[in-house]
């Protein structure tokens, strides 16, 4: 649970920083401005102030603030009187459709971290994030299908989600997709596709992918897969 998405979520919609001396009434300051001020406070190391501002924005429905407050609570950078506050804020952000929150919420149930382990719940939230293009969620869901982690093994479904992550630039997924095309596991065997995806992973510095690519390049053209 390493993500406190301050800088990244700033680019995703925390617009217009308000003055640090703005009135403290939640009904007078836009939630996005509260969240922006919270980001500034957090980056300056003023965690108590950041948590208070995130909470005001979170209670006003800002899903980015809900997520960031949850991460602060999980990381014990702030405290709340309710023991399940971190879970509740993360759940609200996930339910509001924030892909990173959905992924982190899935991780809780996948690992049994502070909650009863539930692979079906994990798979559902991985799926929601994956459908929004979250590459790590796509890989996690693909792996559940590939190894039969809490669901029947389904190589075709695994290949579909690995391929989605590979197209998004996930080097690990690119390597796996290449190996699936090489072996014909979950997809029709296709050495040209295997070469392509090994090459993509190699371009990102994957030494094993480069070796596989070079081996395929040296393979006789009429060799069987």
Residue 37: how many other CB atoms lie within 10 Å? 24
C-alpha span between 224 and 219 (Å, rounded): 10
> 1-105: what fold?
1.25.40
**Mean residue pLDDT across the chain:** 88
What does the pLDDT look like over 152-207, one tens digit per residue?
999 999 999 999 999 999 999 999 999 999 999 999 999 999 999 999 999 999 99
What does the pLDDT look like over 10-54, one tens digit per residue?
323 322 222 233 334 445 789 999 999 999 999 999 999 999 999
Residue with tokens 């690990």: 172
Q: What superfamily in CATH does domain 133-225 come from?
A: Tetratricopeptide repeat domain (1.25.40.10)
Residue with tokens 């960031």: 68
Label residue 77 by pLDDT band (50, 70, 90).
very high
Q: Where are the domains of the chain?
A: 1-105, 133-225
Is it true that 1-105 and 133-225 share their CATH fold? yes
pLDDT value at position 221?
Answer: 63
Q: Give me Rg for the CA atoms of the chain.
A: 22
């Amino acid at each position: 649970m390493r993500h406190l998405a301050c800088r990244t979520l700033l680019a995703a919609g925390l617009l217009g920083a308000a003055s640090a001396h703005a009135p403290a009434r939640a009904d007078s300051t836009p939630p996005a401005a509260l969240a922006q001020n919270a980001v500034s406070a957090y980056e300056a190391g003023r965690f108590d102030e950041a948590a208070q501002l995130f909470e005001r924005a979170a209670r006003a429905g800002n899903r980015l603030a809900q997520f960031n407050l949850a991460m602060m609570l999980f990381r014990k950078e702030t405290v709340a009187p309710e023991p399940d506050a971190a879970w509740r804020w993360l759940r609200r952000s996930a339910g509001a459709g924030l892909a990173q929150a959905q992924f982190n919420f899935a991780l809780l149930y996948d690992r049994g971290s502070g909650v009863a382990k539930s692979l079906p719940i994990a798979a559902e939230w991985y799926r929601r994030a994956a459908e929004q293009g979250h590459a790590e969620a796509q890989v996690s869901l693909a792996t559940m299908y590939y190894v039969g982690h809490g669901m029947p093994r389904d190589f075709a479904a695994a290949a579909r989600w690995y391929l989605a992550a590979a197209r998004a630039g996930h080097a690990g997924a690119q390597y796996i997709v290449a190996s699936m095309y090489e072996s014909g596991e979950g997809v029709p065997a296709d050495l040209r596709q295997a070469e392509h995806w090994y090459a993509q992973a190699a371009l990102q510095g994957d030494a094993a992918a480069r070796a596989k690519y070079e081996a395929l390049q040296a393979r006789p053209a009429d060799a069987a897969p």
